[in-house]
Amino acid sequence: MSAPFLYRTWVVASIGLVPFFARSQTAKLREQGVSVRRAHEKLGHATQERQGSGPLIWLHAASVGESLSVLALITRMGLLLPKAQFLITSGTATSAKLVAQRMPPRTVHQFAPLDAPGPLKRFLRHWRPDAAIFVESELWPQMLRRTHASGAKMALVNARLSDKSVATWRKHPKLAAYLFDVFDLILTQNDAMAHNMVSMHAPSDRIARGINLKSMAGPLPVDEDALFEVRAALGHRPVWVASSTHEGEENAVLQAHQTLLKQFPDLCLILAPRHPERGDKVEELISDTGLTFTRRSRGEKPNAQVFLADTLGELGLWYAMTDIVFLGGSLLPIGGHNPFEVAQSGAAVLSGNHVSAFAETYGQLETEGAARIVADGDDLAQRIASLLSHPKQLAGMTNAAKRFVEAQDDQLDGIAARLLSVLGLKNG
């Protein structure tokens, strides 16, 4: 299949743009605390060596959610291929940090190379992947075609593109067909996405419905020492968590907590904004309500009405403290956030109704009785009050969450085995 005009145009343009993107991307990583040496991974300069004599399987994801979603898959594939090595690439400092905390055996992380000839040639020459698995919507044109040209077998898993992206691909059928042809297998999150892939000129005989890998990521890590300290500070106080909240949502959450305190005066709210760097602004909001508060980033203990959990990588700790979690990004048209992490902690899931990014998942969780949708802050307060007042009702939701997670687990073995078969992977 010959390269279409749009692809050839991008190759030429990328050569000229490399200096600009190299400066901006490495500078961004440096600002986030990444060393100069590691930041240069964006240019294809590896900072680790290819290890072992077995196959190397490369998995490429965009950022935090996508990177974490493949960790359980790597673990299962590693059990089936004891000699295999795994490479995860992503683009953000946050994803690198969180992946490092949960790295499966025989796995390394590198920052993904820029989509340009020089960086990609260096990257592929060093790592020589036997297979490449791309996650969700990470479809960089040259990365796909140059990896395919290297001889690596390729798969797209957890495929999920927005309606806007689907419409854009449909407008460029030659380019879409040229890029999707590299995949030996395309596993989508649901049937609707499978139909979309066909309409986007992906090879229909290589498309199948898979599972949402974010349901397989496993429970978030918990620092046991920190857990002991937080539990000691809270004592027997009831706790609820509002996590991954965005600007414009905290007011509703705080109003709900004020209402709840009238009925449950010892109740503690652990408020974990989606972006911890917003901590100062969220502190102002709490202060304006008159609620007492302490702040995690200052090393303070949760001994007030609100505990501002403005740190990175500790959601697992906060989820371990409660059976009730409100998941933000959902009271406003943001699209919602990953409810699997809450369900895997064994907590009941509460959410606003703006969950387009996880609509199917929320539908399943609601059907199972593990999740409830709330309309606003008042509705949120009523729902939490009902759960706190009726322990059997709360236990029903938490048990449903555990059953939902257990039901997903068996499917992962099938996905791992199918990928290994299609990608022709075996120890050697």
Catalytic residues: 66
Whole-number Å distance between alpha carbons of 141 and 14:
11
Q: Is the dihedral of CA 314, 264, 373, 395 positive or negative?
A: positive
HSE value, Cβ hemisphere, 13 Å, CA-based, for 37: 3
Whole-number Å distance between alpha carbons of 181 and 56:
22
Q: Is the dihedral of CA 424, 114, 276, 353 positive or negative?
A: negative
Nearest to 116 by CA among 28, 20, 1, 181: 20
Query: Rounded to 5 degrees, what are φ and ψ at 211?
Result: -135, 165
User: What DSSP line would sit under 365-386, residue for residue?
Assistant: HHHHTSEEE--SHHHHHHHHHH
Whole-number Å distance between alpha carbons of 333 and 275:
17
Whole-number Å distance between alpha carbons of 39 and 100:
16
Q: Where are the alpha helices (DSSP H) in 223-276?
A: 224-234, 250-263
Whole-number Å distance between alpha carbons of 188 and 161:
10
Supply 410's token pair: 């068996």
Query: Rounded to 5 degrees, what are φ and ψ at 220?
Result: -65, 150
Nearest to 72 by CA among 95, 49, 43, 104: 104
Which residues lie below 8 Å from residue 135, measured CB to CB, with a gap of 6+? 59, 60, 61, 62, 66, 67, 69, 70, 156, 157, 158, 213
Sheet order of strands, 153-159 included: 107-111, 85-90, 56-60, 131-135, 153-159, 185-188, 207-209
Q: Measure CA of the first residue to CA of the last residue in the chain; give whole Å.
A: 32
Q: Please report how the helices 359-368 and 391-422 are oriented relative to each other, as an axis angle in degrees rounded to 10.
A: 130
Q: What is the DSSP letter of 108?
A: E
